Amino acid sequence: MTTRRELLKLGTIYGASSLLANQMELVNSVQAANSVQAAPLSCNPIVTNDGIMVTDFSGTKWKPLWSNNPTLGRDYNVTLGITSRTGVGRMLRWGPIANSYEDIRLSHIDLPSQAPISFNGRFGLWVYCDGMQGYGPGQTPSGILHIVMTTDPSGSFNNAVDIGFNPNQIREGWNFLKFVDNPTGHPLGIYKNFWGNGSSGDITNKPVYSILIYTESQDIGVTWYLDSLWTGFRSVPQVVLGCDANGADLLNHCLPLFQSYGWLGYVASPFRVWTSGSKKVTNWNTDQSVLIAMAKAGWDIVNHTVNHLRVGDLTTVADIKYEIEAQDTYLRSLNIPTQGLKFYVSPYSSSSRLSETTIKNSWVVAQRHYRKWNTSITQFGIDNPHHIGSLDMGSFEYGQTFANIKRQIDIALAYEDTMHWFWHVVTSQGDPGNGTGNTGNLSAIYQSSWDLVMGYIRSLELAGKMVVARGFTGFFYNHYF
């Protein structure tokens, strides 16, 4: 069998560029350092093991258990519309009938030939969410999907483990809801609880006999399309780095450090931050010397709108289109490389069904928002390229200090997921110099904290434990197909 490295030398990996070749060489070293057994060759260098499909949702093997029976459309299979993401063909269409607990179960009791499943503490559910409640303009998404597993041979869930995914993980569209039994912690929106005394909840060391999936607080109108359940998958942790401003600190401090490490990032800077008056720009004259310099240095320049509004609050297609179309035209007028203009970053991480759909129907191929900051890369690509999550280094909860940011990076390492970290301003004014300071400003992070974070990421890269994507372009075109 031809190896990845041999194909790299031949340059025949689906027309892979030298950039992809270099990235795949690094991934090879990551695999060697971590003793990860490579999966069959694919054009995705981040996936190291495709894993195995534990079960699909075809036929009648998944059955309601409790009294509130949901509306089930079995063997859902259409030519147009929502089709299987993994190619299984027949999915299970599930529509809650009330704002209540509703469930389906797969059990060895129902399937005598179904052998217990060894998950080794790792699973992923491919599921499409249609009509997510609370995703209209100005609203807040809600609803939870639970996956319960028991190691009790009788199939009893009395002492099972319950893994919940709330809207900080679930997005409208396709989701690969991923859980890794990591004692360090879990990404925002994933939580682990035990029923009873938890004696039947060790899914890392014991086989699973029955699986229960149930919804909580899901109104009528939400529809789930259940594709398949997987385990055994492995991937290389990755980070994508960008700045949502274009101040002098970006050019004078951040760029030199990136260049010393051989990295590229991206800039998502709006034309202005609107405060009052007309939202239609009439005077486009402004100093963009920093932005132009970053573009010449190889960084992607990404669409971040004209006015930096909460786009998720806008209620008309015309207003949303103006924000991205006017900005796109303006950036092109600067005569800079345009490879980054196919990507969009939402101001304030604000999105809605209307804004996301409107932007998806434009030339934009990927959108960075907030929810599900641990982006799952699979053999089928990015699970939801039009809702990629991210974390702000200025966040009081997850950012500001080196310790806070390092904790999230370590969780991503355990989950083997991709992180999108961004910042606005790096400042030395008032910096205590040891990575422990809090600026008190969501748009600023102290230089010592930022430097320590970048140094930590660099150490992981050199140790073969993490890949640093070469901007938004390097992230997207390596993984979406």
pLDDT in tens, 133-182: 899 999 999 989 999 999 999 999 999 999 999 999 999 999 999 999 98
Cβ neighbours of 224 (radius 10 Å)? 25
Least-confidence region, from 61-75, 148-162, 249-263, 335-349: 61-75
Contact indicator for 379, 481 with CB cutoff of 8 Å: no
Instruction: List C-alpha distances in Å: 242 to 57, 238, 296, 374.
Output: 39, 14, 16, 16
- Give 65's pLDDT tier (boundaries 50, 70, 90): confident
Portions of the chain given CATH number 3.20.20.370: 238-479
4 has pLDDT over 60 = no
Tokens of 224: 């789930």
Contact 324, 344 (CB under 8 A): yes
Average pLDDT over residues 346-355: 97
Average pLDDT (204-224) is 87
- What pairs with residue 153 in β-bridges? none
Q: Is 445 helix (H, G, I), strand (E, B) or coil?
A: strand
Token pair in block for residue 449: 């904290």
What are the φ and ψ backbone dihedral angles of 223, each rounded to 5 degrees?
-130, 135
42 vs 352, residue with greater confidence = 352
Secondary structure (3-state) at 335: coil
When pLDDT is cut at 50, 70 and 90, the band that residue 319 belongs to is very high
Q: 397: exposed, middle or buried (C-beta count within 10 Å: 0-12, 13-18, 19+)?
A: exposed
Superfamily of 238-479 according to CATH: Glycoside hydrolase/deacetylase (3.20.20.370)
What would the pLDDT profile of 294-309 be if each residue is shown by its tens digit?
A: 999 999 999 999 999 9
- Residue range 52-235 in CATH 1.25.40: no
Please state, in angstroms and rounded to a whole number, the distance separating the CA atoms of residues 420 and 468. 10
pLDDT in tens, 169-197: 999 999 999 999 988 899 999 999 999 99
CA-closest candidate to residue 418, choices 116, 23, 108: 23
* pLDDT at res. 147: 96
Distances (CA, A) of 479 to 12, 18, 45, 237: 17, 16, 8, 13
- Pull the structure tokens for residue 346: 């939402």
pLDDT at residue 70, rounded to an integer: 75
pLDDT of the residue at 190: 97
Q: Model confidence at 18, in pLDDT bands (50, 70, 90)?
A: very low
CA dist 437 and 451 (Å) reads 13
> According to DSSP H, which parts of 167-216 are helical?
none
- Give residue 71's pLDDT: 80
- Note the pLDDT of residue 44: 58
Give me the chain's average pLDDT, please: 88
Task: State the pLDDT at residue 19.
Answer: 35
Span 15-44, average pLDDT: 38
Confidence check: pLDDT of 1 > 80 = no
As given in the structure block, the two tokens for residue 280 are 């239609």
Query: CATH 2.60.120 occupies which residues in the chain?
Result: 52-235
**pLDDT computed for residue 422 by the predictor:** 97
Q: How far apart are CA 101 and CA 130, in angstroms?
A: 18
Q: What is the DSSP letter of 132?
A: -
Q: Give the whole-angstrom CA distance, residue 72 versus residue 104.
A: 9
12-21, 49-58, 66-75, 239-248: segment of lowest average pLDDT: 12-21
Measured distance CA(393)–CA(370) in Å, rounded: 13
